[in-house]
Chains A and B, each alone.
Chain A
């Protein structure tokens, strides 16, 4: 029985990795489309969000069946419950990539009023967090998960800086306010993606550790 269970857990891992790759791809493309003002690509990202939702359902089903068939305890129980919680955060990350793409489409016809360097930085930092949080789960690597949680401060600082710059911009030139507000939304979506990656890392720690360490986010 245990070997079948191990096989099912391997399958769960594979699907988690696959979903991780999907949302990583979405964020990468979302920032790419935003920078290039590529409405077509943005449209594609929005459409692919339903694939992410589908994958979430698939993983939840696998977990549900494992709970039913194997009645897991101890680490097995923690790993499976963590996966069920993690996919919710992963799905939200996918939603945010779609949200960002929606703004990209809206702004695709007008020149940008501010420099996107900090938003680009936020994007690359959150992608790193996401990749590492999924790796931490798959590789059962506690240190990597803790690293992700620490990394969130970088994203939060970038958001604060971005926000201050945008406020400054609006103060100087209220005409640019509308687009600036949209860009603040984009920055906030990346900041939220960082929070979701942090949640994922916290669930990894829960699955691996003797004690659950959950911080409010």
Chain B
């Protein structure tokens, strides 16, 4: 069945001062799919990821033109509350960054910020989020212990659980496994498969095989340009653009 578009990007340009970092990017990100962004360092893929929940607003000297729509809402329209936006579009970073507090408080943090006080409801959200991030069984007996005592892979899943706790619609993941060992990586990859049933997942990765394994769609970026975007299987077996072919087969970079 054809999936509907969750995020629509039209003629997006981004400038860091004089530097034209994203050039006329157009893309439809499908709902309940994993979309992977690949490309060499500095190609703009992480910058682009951050435009999807306005994380670049925090960077000095950034100018953005064009349109990014979540469902039918322009996220760059005047009056958009970025806190609400980032609740709807959560993010997980390369380095696991749990807060220096207990596992429970890490997960309850978001809901509490958004005004949730009911202890039993919070308990339910914490459990559900930890289950959603496939880590509940590993931490259920130590919820009051510090999240910093967990392994890197577990910390990353805590961060995913923390993102899920505010019930987002989209999950952005910026190289979520590049700091993890292969076992933790494979857990996160399996998790992505599960997550896309409920959420729309967008992942930046340097690991080509990971893009092949986990994503439905792949976009290839090169010096700020989105060179090719399409079905992952097609991109990795019959890339249309020679630059895509050269990159994925390791002929440059």
The reply to whether A76 and B240 contact each other, CB–CB distance below 8 Å, is: no
Q: Interface range on chain B: under 10, 10 to 19, 20 to 34, or 35 or more?
A: 10 to 19
The reply to whether B251 and A73 contact each other, CB–CB distance below 8 Å, is: no
Q: Is B152 an interface residue, CB under 8 A from the partner? A: no
Q: In the complex where A1-B250, A2-B250, A5-B250 touch, is A73 in contact with B238 (Cβ < 8 A)?
A: no
Whose C-beta in chain B lies nearest to the C-beta of A210?
A: B238
Contacts of A5 in B (CB 8 A): 250
Those of B218-253 within 8 Å (CB) of chain A: 236-240, 244-245, 248-251
In the assembled complex, the Cα of A109 lies from the Cα of B208 at a distance in Å of 63
Whose C-beta in chain A lies nearest to the C-beta of B209?
A: A71
Contacts of A74 in B (CB 8 A): 236-239, 244-245, 248-249
Q: Is A96 an interface residue, CB under 8 A from the partner? A: no
The reply to whether B237 and A78 contact each other, CB–CB distance below 8 Å, is: yes
Q: Interface range on chain A: under 10, 10 to 19, 20 to 34, or 35 or more?
A: 10 to 19
Least CB distance from B242 to A in Å reads: 10
The reply to whether B208 and A211 contact each other, CB–CB distance below 8 Å, is: no
Least CB distance from B247 to A in Å reads: 10
The reply to whether B249 and A73 contact each other, CB–CB distance below 8 Å, is: yes
In the assembled complex, the Cα of A27 lies from the Cα of B212 at a distance in Å of 43
Whose C-beta in chain B lies nearest to the C-beta of A2?
A: B250
Q: Is A72 an interface residue, CB under 8 A from the partner? A: yes
The reply to whether A2 and B238 contact each other, CB–CB distance below 8 Å, is: no
Q: Among the interface residues A1, A2, A74, which one has the most CB atoms of the partner chain B within 10 A?
A: A74
The reply to whether A72 and B238 contact each other, CB–CB distance below 8 Å, is: no
Least CB distance from A24 to B in Å reads: 31
Q: In the complex where A1-B250, A2-B251, A5-B250 touch, is A73 in contact with B240 (Cβ < 8 A)?
A: no
Contacts of A78 in B (CB 8 A): 237
Contacts of A210 in B (CB 8 A): 238, 240
Q: Which residues of B contact A (CB under 8 A)?
A: 208-209, 212, 236-240, 244-245, 248-251
10 A-B residue pairings within 8 Å (CB atoms)? A1-B250, A2-B249, A72-B249, A73-B212, A73-B237, A74-B249, A75-B245, A77-B236, A77-B237, A211-B238
